[in-house]
Structure formats: C-alpha cells, structure tokens
C-alpha cells in the first residue's frame, strides 16, 4: 500500500481534527507536527500517544529537513497562509490548506499557478462541500426536482466566538457561499453587503486582519449579504455572532418546492418540502404539499476531505470540488463583499477572471 509522509502545521481548534483524521488514515504516515505553542505539542503527544519518531517542533524550518516528506496540511491563521503555502509548494510538497486559501485573490492565483507548474496538489479544506447532505443536495437541485429556481436563503448565527482580527463576514459567510455555488453550479456575478457594529466600534484593524476595513470602522457583528447569480437568481445570507439562537440553515426555493439543509437537525439535516400553486380563476391554490426527508450517508465531512486529499496526492489528480482555484473564487467573492460593506451596501460586480 502506498503511504504518503505528511506533516500537520498548526494544531489549534481545527488542526487537531486534521491530525486525528490523518493519524487514522491507512495511507498516511504523520511524520511531523508543527505549532508555535509548545503546550499544544505536549497535549497532542499525550492525547494521541504519538510515536517518538514523530517530530514535534515549533519551527517550520525543521520540517523541511525531513527526507521523503510528501505533503503538508496547514491549519494556521489565514494571514500566514500565503507565505507558508508558497514555501511548501516550492519545496515540492502537496498542500491541503484550511480555508480561506489566502486573503487576497491575486495571491490565490499565484499559488494555484505555482502548484500547477510544479505538478503538485493544492486543495482547500472547504469541509461543507464534502458534507453528505451538501453532496446529496447538489444532486437534488441539479436534477431539477425543485422546478424553476427562484431564490435562496441562509442563516448562520450563534453567540460567539467573537473574532478580533476579522468581522462576521469573513468568519462565517464562506460556508454558505460555497454551498450555494456548489448547488447552483454557478458563481455570483454581483454582490452586496451591509453590516452593524456593536461590540468593537472604532476598532483599529491591524495589517494582519482578514478584513481590509477603513480605519476606525470597527468589526461588523451582524452582516446581511445578497448574492446575485446569472439568470437573476438571488441568495440572501444572514450572519451574526451575537445571537444566542444558534442556526445553521440554508435553503433553495423553486417552483415545485424547497430544499432545506439544517445542520442543527441531527436526525434529518436535508429535507425536500414539496408544494406549488395551481391557478383557479384569479386565485392561487397550494397543491402537492408533502415533506420528504432525504436520505444521506453517514460520514464525517472532514474525514472525506482527508480521503480526497490523499487520493489526489497518490493519483496526482486535483479535486475539482475544492481545488485551489475554487478557493480563489470564494476569496474573490469575499473581497467584493468587503468592498460593498465598506461602501455601505453598494452593489459590486464580480469578474472571476
């Protein structure tokens, strides 16, 4: 069996889950873990009973001295992604990067082109695109089961954590945008965003911030997003980290029914709600109303991400679902939304060239 030698860079809240999955993968040998916090390295050594042969280090430079290293999984703050990913690709390593790929569309383009020139895999961990409910939802939508598509909506709210380097837009929106793009098979051509700041007004945003906000604007706790797709399909997204009503809900409405992905419903996260109108004289009468729980496979989305990355590396076949180029498309959209937010909701046209 072919095994790839892999290093995990960053074992914070998300990186530790990447490490768990790769340690359990039969085609992976984890040879190094890097994190600037020594206490994290001590903790994961105990938690996973790591072999003495696994290098635990606070310095990325030491990892580059490991002979036979094949790939790296990067789960560090987004502000560090560009330099780390570029260096890893230049060293000849395949890369799985936590989202967002970087904070700048042109940096994303450069990394994608570098990976292609080196014939290396660059994949972004957009975990929701590997969620069984999202995969099945794409099939339902693109099979035309909803009829003519009319509009979409999503709500992503919770009480914290409140970020100090990024507003609610960059923290939360990427998930729902990725799902809408995936289900529709299209990219938005125009976006709008408005926001409200309560907690961190007049906060000066440093150069390491994800959000390129005007000085003293503060970090938006509440953001409303409008995405306009070709054929004038629109999706509306509500984002807030200051709402104790935790919701993770997304839907698309068509002429024959609605498809709902409700992540908070463990037993039935994907539901197809049938219903349409029949016209009688001047009246519109609801007909064909019924609700159907869509069956999905049982699988951990992040486990599927890791499986796909390993397959891509071994077969040298990029993941079309979550390639570096897909990551760039999402950064382009977020950057346009930031421009709209800074200009108080001005409509921004998007070019994905």
Q: Where are the alpha helices (DSSP H) in 201-240?
A: none
CA distance linking residue 138 with residue 275, whole number of Å: 20
Q: Are strands 234-240 and 149-159 parallel, antiparallel or unpaired?
A: parallel
Nearest of 100, 27, 35, 16 to residue 70 by alpha carbon: 27
- The pLDDT value recorded for residue 352 is 67
Contact predicate 241/161, CB 8 Å: yes
351 pLDDT above the threshold of 90: no
Please determine, for residue 266, whether its predicted confidence score (pLDDT) is greater than 80.
Answer: yes
Q: Is 295 left (phi over 0), alpha (psi -120 to 50) or beta?
A: beta
Pick from 301, 319, 315: nearest CA to 4: 315
- Write out pLDDT tens, residues 186-232: 999 999 999 999 998 865 544 445 444 444 478 999 999 999 999 99
pLDDT at position 279 over 70 = yes
At residue 132, the pLDDT reads: 97
Residue 131 DSSP code: -
Confidence of residue 166 (pLDDT cuts 50, 70, 90): confident
**103 or 212, which is more confident:** 103
Q: Which residue's entry shows tokens 């509009």?
A: 151
**pLDDT confidence tier of residue 269, bands split at 50, 70 and 90:** very high
Predicted confidence at residue 214, as pLDDT, reads: 45
User: What mean pLDDT comes out for the span 162-175?
Assistant: 90
pLDDT score at 2: 76
Residue 210 CA to residue 349 CA, distance in Å, equals 21
Give me the pLDDT at residue 353, please: 64
- Separation CA 165–CA 254 (nearest Å): 38
């Amino acid at each position: 069996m072919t095994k790839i030698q892999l290093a995990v860079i960053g074992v914070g809240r998300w990186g530790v889950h990447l490490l768990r999955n790769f340690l359990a993968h039969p085609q992976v040998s984890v040879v190094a873990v890097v994190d600037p916090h020594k206490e994290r390295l001590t903790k994961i050594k105990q938690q996973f009973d790591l072999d003495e042969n696994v290098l635990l280090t606070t310095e990325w430079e030491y990892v580059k001295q490991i002979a036979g290293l094949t790939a790296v999984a990067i789960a560090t703050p987004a502000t560090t992604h560009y330099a780390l990913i570029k260096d890893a690709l230049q060293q000849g390593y395949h890369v799985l990067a936590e989202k967002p790929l970087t904070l700048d569309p042109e940096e994303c383009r450069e990394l994608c082109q570098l990976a292609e020139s080196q014939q290396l895999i660059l994949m972004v961990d957009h975990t929701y695109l590997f969620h069984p409910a999202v995969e099945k939802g794409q099939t339902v939508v693109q099979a035309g089961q909803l009829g003519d598509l009319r509009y979409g909506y999503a709500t992503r709210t919770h009480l914290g954590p409140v970020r100090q380097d990024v507003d609610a837009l960059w923290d939360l929106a990427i998930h729902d945008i990725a799902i809408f793009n995936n289900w529709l098979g299209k990219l938005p051509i125009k976006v709008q965003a408005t926001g409200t700041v309560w907690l961190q007004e007049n906060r000066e945003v440093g150069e390491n911030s994800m959000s390129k906000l005007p000085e003293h604007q503060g970090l938006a706790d509440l953001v409303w997003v409008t995405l306009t797709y070709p054929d004038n399909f629109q999706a509306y997204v509500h984002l807030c980290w200051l709402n104790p009503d935790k919701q993770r809900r997304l839907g698309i409405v068509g002429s024959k029914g609605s498809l709902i992905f409700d992540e908070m419903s463990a037993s039935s996260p994907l539901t197809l709600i049938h219903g349409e109108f029949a016209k009688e004289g001047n009246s519109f009468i609801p007909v064909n109303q019924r609700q159907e729980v869509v069956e999905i496979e049982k699988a951990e989305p992040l486990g599927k991400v890791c499986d796909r990355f390993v397959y891509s590396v071994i077969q040298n076949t990029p993941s079309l679902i979550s390639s570096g180029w897909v990551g760039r498309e999402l950064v382009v959209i977020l950057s346009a939304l930031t421009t709209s937010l800074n200009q108080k909701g001005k409509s921004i046209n998007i070019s994905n060239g």
